Amino acid sequence: MESKFKRSYRFAFRTSLLITMFVTLLVGVFLYRLMTPPWWAIPGIFICTYLFSFVVIQFRVQRFIYRRVKKIYDDLTLLESANLSQGAITTDMRTLTQEIDKFARDKKIEIETLKVREKYRKEFLGNVSHELKTPLFTVQGYIETLLDGADKDSKLRRKYLERASKGVERLGYIIKDLDMITKLEVGDLSLKTEVFDIVELVKNVFEMLEMKASKKKITLTFDMEYPNPVYVKADRERIQQVLVNLAVNSIKYGRVKGTTEVSIENLIKNKVIVRVTDNGEGISEEHLPRLFERFYRVDKSGSRKEGGSGLGLSIVKHIIEAHDEKIYVESEFDVGSEFSFTLEKAKTPKNTTINKGNEKVESPS
């Protein structure tokens, strides 16, 4: 490495001054005891001693210390320290120490980050393997049973084929959801922003999930009447997916004869917040920080019985963040959960009839 050398004179200056003061004092005392020296003797000794000391010490700094400092810089440059490879090399120990300390702190943070990522990578690969092998082995088992002779029984054949089909369907969900998350992360999935009524969209979601909710006698409802539309600006299809995922989770982990309630409130001038609240089993506090991770499950055993890809909440988070919005979760174990997210409000389209009244949310004019 060809480095520019920035000389530091501080060490030579201070050391030479100390040596000169000592030598001048010693020689001065000695001369005054033997004879009376001329007036210029002491200043001359001071100047000559100082210049000689400075030249010798500075030379040693360049030849001795500099070579070692340069070796340190070269070693750090091999570690790809961009900050240290820029600018001139200095023999100032304080400056070098500060740079080394900063380098060490940065590397420590980098190592800790890599450890966290490595832990996440191992957990992620383990979860993917588990999620994929469960339906895969199920499909494989039924097909092998049919190949071993069970296909001769028409009722048994249909039963096993239907179960194998469900396993394939589950694999398809996982792969489709993983593909969507990947596209959201790298920005390949473009959003089709439009103005739409979020109240109408929630009603559509309720209609879609009415049969699923009725199996557990769960009521899908608003917190109040919304006679006026609430217009937002977002990707309608993706926001519908967010609402479906949150509502499905609410139903999946909700109590029998429970409720899933949606509310829409003004947050600030140009924002609304949509809340999906249930009175289900709730989530313990220790699980909340990791709730939106891929394949993370609060109930490691029971949750898989409900099906799904295990990626629903992760997809929700990525879609909301792709809109540059925020998503929040509040939950208390055995009490219920509330998921909420913000959206940008939009102006009311022209030729739209709005009912007047004192409502919780007013359509923007």
Per-residue pLDDT tens over the stretch 1-27: 445 555 667 777 888 888 888 888 888
Q: Find the mean pLDDT for residues 252-264.
A: 90
pLDDT tens-digit series, residues 117-129: 787 677 667 767 7
pLDDT at 352: 57
pLDDT band at 302 (very low <50, low <70, confident <90, very high): very low
Tokens 């900050």 appear where?
Answer: 83
- Residue of higher predicted confidence among 281 and 195: 195
Percentage of the chain beyond pLDDT 70 is: 78
Q: Is the pLDDT of residue 84 over 50?
A: no
Q: Is the pLDDT of residue 81 over 70?
A: no
pLDDT at 46: 87
N-to-C CA span, the chain? 66
Most confident of 59-73, 163-177, 191-205: 191-205
Residue 222's DSSP bridge partners are 262
pLDDT band at 222 (very low <50, low <70, confident <90, very high): very high
| DSSP-assigned letter for residue 288 | G
CA distance 23 to 180: 79
Q: Which of 110-124, 138-152, 271-285 has the lowest mean pLDDT?
A: 110-124
- Residue of higher predicted confidence among 90 and 73: 73
Sign of CA dihedral 135, 138, 143, 146: negative
**Amino acid found at 144:** E
Q: Which of 124-133, 194-203, 228-237 has the lowest mean pLDDT?
A: 124-133
Q: Find the mean pLDDT for residues 242-256.
A: 89
30 exposure class (CB count in 10 Å sphere: 0-12, 13-18, 19+): exposed
Alpha helix stretches (DSSP H) within 187-292: 198-208, 210-214, 236-252
CA distance 191 to 235: 6
Q: Is the pLDDT of residue 341 over 90?
A: yes
For 221, the 3-state DSSP assignment is strand
Phi and psi, residue 30, nearest 5°: -65, -45
pLDDT at 1: 42
CA distance 130 to 301: 12
Q: Quick one: angle between helices 66-78 and 93-147, nearest 10?
A: 20
pLDDT at 220: 92
Q: Which of 2-11, 131-140, 274-283 has the lowest mean pLDDT?
A: 2-11
